[in-house]
């Protein structure tokens, strides 16, 4: 099945035009925030290495830098590199539409795809920056399509392509590596049911093969850290800040660099401990932060739970934040994400009541989504963390909405 045939391009041409117009308005030559880091990783790959000296060591997986590297080699401009996100988002929607056609009629699939394609927080963010969200969105949509097709048809090419998209996704957003472990465990459980064994076998092959494809990176990180599997040294900082025991702090991540950190209210509460690990190497520092976090969680479980709830709120609404007067800007996320959160909760409820009637694909997509959301809620949660999982969430939510219209959940026969 061709993804980008003439008919599909015409169907979504308005979205492509919109993406180009938004890009023209928001793209500039700036490299603020994390953007320069990805270019450093890409340049390192061109030089036959990957890790960065210092705190950023293995902060991200190599998925996105692998895509950037050829263009960096060709001295592509910053604007061109940002413009790649137009392609990522547009072709992601084409993949998503093809997936929707496996579950819905043509009108429903078109409507669902346009709703996802017009989710403006993703558009305005992904089109503006050299960051992973646009590429991860494309990979998620591609994986969703080939995974659905592989479950249905079981052809080798679909299984291989699903694994390739998945390994690129987990190397781009390493949290997906842990999601794959969860799905592998579930697929093994599925073997207990005779009618699910064929699909369980396909799921297991796809997810195991994706992890096999990630081994070169894991062997590389092992050579640097003597730990296996080791994906990133960013986890310690995330869980450390989330576990903060101080009453006026909400658990969001704080950049603890020398000059910037001294201006933050959190400095007085955390500087003493952070100074004790300042001279440690990145892997040792990561381990120390995790150890300290576990101690703080054990000693202050109620405070950690409050921070955790705040983290879930930040994932959808970008609030609350410590020592900050909340600006009205959170409404930018609150409008669409409130709907997503409500319909997500309703979908969980509907799926629980109709579990036996759900297609295996929908069960796996929903499980994939929930594992990802749970993992994200334990890290530095921002609304942009939602963007890569949106295709899974939207397909699950749309399916539940459309089925709810025709399913008598509370009939006398149920």
Query: What string of DSSP letters covers 322-360?
Result: TT----GGGHHHHHHHHHHHHHHHHHHHHHHHTGGGS-H
Instruction: Write down the pLDDT at residue 257.
Output: 74
Question: The pTM is what?
Answer: 0.95
Flag whether 343 is in a domain. no
Same domain, 114 and 217: yes
Does 180 share its domain with 294? no
Tell me if 89 sits within 8 A of 138, measured CB to CB.
yes
Instruction: Note the pLDDT of residue 413.
Output: 45
The one-character DSSP state at 196 is G
Number of domains in the chain: 2
Statement to judge: residues 224 and 296 lie in one domain? no
Query: Both 239 and 162 in a single domain?
Result: no
Strands (E), 66-223: none
> How far out from the chain centre does Cα 406 lie?
32
**Quick check: 109 and 93 in contact, CB under 8 A?**
no
Measure the CA–CA gap between 379 and 236, rounded to whole angstroms.
9
Sequence-distant (≥ 6) Cβ neighbours of residue 225 within 8 angstroms: 58, 283
Mapped onto helix, strand or coil, the DSSP state of residue 249 is: coil
The answer on 116 and 159 residing in a single domain is yes
Would residue 394 count as lying in a domain? no
Specify whether 225 is located in the same domain as 302: no
In a domain, 298, yes or no: yes
What's residue 7's pLDDT? Answer: 87
145 lies in the same domain as 253: no
Give the DSSP per-residue string, 253-298.
-----HHHHTTSTTHHHHHHHHHHTTTS-HHHHHHHHHHHHHHHHH
Per-residue pLDDT of the chain (414 residues; tens, 9 = 90+): 567 678 889 999 999 999 999 999 999 999 988 999 999 999 999 999 999 998 889 999 999 999 999 999 999 999 999 999 999 999 999 999 999 999 999 999 999 999 999 999 999 999 999 999 999 999 999 999 999 999 999 999 999 999 999 999 999 999 999 999 999 999 999 999 999 999 999 999 999 999 999 999 999 999 999 999 999 999 999 999 999 999 889 999 988 876 778 888 999 999 999 999 999 999 999 999 999 999 999 999 999 999 999 999 999 999 998 988 777 777 889 899 999 999 999 999 999 999 989 999 999 999 999 999 999 999 888 999 999 999 999 999 999 999 887 655 444 443
Are 67 and 148 members of one domain?
yes
Domain boundary among 289, 308, 329: 329
Give me 90's structure tokens: 């547009």
Determine, yes or no, domain membership for 348.
no
Q: Where a domain ends, among 273, 307, 329?
A: 329
Question: Is 356 within a domain?
Answer: no
Residue 391 CB neighbours (<10 A) = 28
**Is 407 a member of any domain?**
no
Is residue 307 assigned to a domain? Answer: yes
Residues 30, 122, single domain; the answer is yes
**Are residues 123 and 52 part of one domain?**
yes
Predicted pLDDT of residue 2: 66
Note whether residue 15 is domain-resident: yes
**CA pair distance 391, 369, nearest whole angstrom:** 9
CA-based nearest residue to 362, from 334, 325, 402:
402
pLDDT of residue 4: 66
Domain interval for residue 281? 235-329
Residues 342-370 as b/e (b if ≥16 CB within 10 A, e otherwise) read ebbeebeebbeebeeebebbbbbbbbbbb
3-class SS of residue 34: coil
Domain co-membership, 11 together with 59: yes
Q: Is 54 exposed, middle or buried (0-12, 13-18, 19+ CB in 10 A)?
A: exposed
**Residue 399: CA count within 13 A, CB half-sphere:** 26
Tell me which of 194, 214, 229 is where a domain ends: 229
Residues 49 and 168 in one domain: yes
């Amino acid at each position: 099945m061709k993804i980008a045939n003439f008919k599909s391009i015409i169907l979504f041409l308005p979205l492509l035009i919109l993406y180009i117009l938004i890009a023209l308005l928001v793209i500039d030559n700036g490299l603020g925030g994390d953007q320069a880091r990805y270019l450093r990783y890409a340049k390192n790959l061109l030089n036959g290495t990957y890790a960065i000296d210092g705190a950023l060591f293995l902060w991200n997986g190599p998925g996105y830098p692998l895509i950037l590297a050829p263009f960096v080699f060709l001295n592509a401009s910053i604007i061109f590199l940002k413009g790649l996100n137009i392609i990522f988002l547009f072709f992601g929607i084409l993949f998503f539409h093809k997936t929707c056609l496996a579950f819905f009629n043509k009108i429903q699939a078109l409507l669902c795809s346009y709703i996802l394609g017009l989710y403006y927080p993703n558009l305005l963010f992904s089109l503006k920056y050299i960051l992973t969200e646009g590429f991860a969105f494309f990979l998620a949509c591609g994986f969703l399509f080939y995974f659905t097709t592989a479950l249905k048809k079981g052809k080798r090419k679909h299984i291989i392509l699903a694994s390739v998209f998945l390994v690129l996704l987990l190397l781009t957003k390493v949290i997906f590596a842990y999601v794959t472990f969860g799905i592998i465990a579930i697929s093994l459980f599925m073997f207990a049911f005779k009618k699910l064994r064929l699909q369980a076998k396909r799921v297991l092959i796809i997810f195991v093969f994706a992890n096999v494809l990630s081994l070169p990176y894991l062997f590389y990180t092992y050579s640097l850290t003597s730990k296996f599997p080791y994906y990133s040294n960013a986890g310690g900082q995330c869980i450390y800040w989330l576990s903060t025991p101080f009453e006026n702090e909400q658990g969001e991540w704080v950049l603890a660099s020398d000059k910037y950190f001294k201006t933050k209210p959190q400095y007085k509460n955390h500087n003493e401990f952070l100074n004790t690990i300042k001279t440690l190497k990145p892997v040792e520092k990561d381990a120390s932060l995790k150890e300290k976090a576990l101690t703080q969680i054990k000693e202050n479980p109620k405070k950690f739970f409050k921070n955790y709830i705040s983290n879930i709120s930040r994932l959808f609404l970008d609030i609350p934040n410590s020592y900050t007067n909340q600006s009205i800007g959170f409404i930018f996320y609150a409008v669409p994400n409130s709907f997503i959160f409500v319909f997500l909760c309703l979908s969980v409820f509907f799926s629980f009541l109709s579990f036996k009637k759900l297609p295996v694909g929908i069960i796996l997509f929903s499980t994939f989504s929930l594992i990802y959301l749970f993992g994200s809620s334990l890290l530095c949660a921002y609304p942009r963390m939602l963007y890569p999982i949106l295709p899974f969430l939207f397909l699950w939510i749309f399916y539940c909405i459309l089925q709810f219209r025709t399913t008598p959940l509370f009939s006398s026969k149920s």
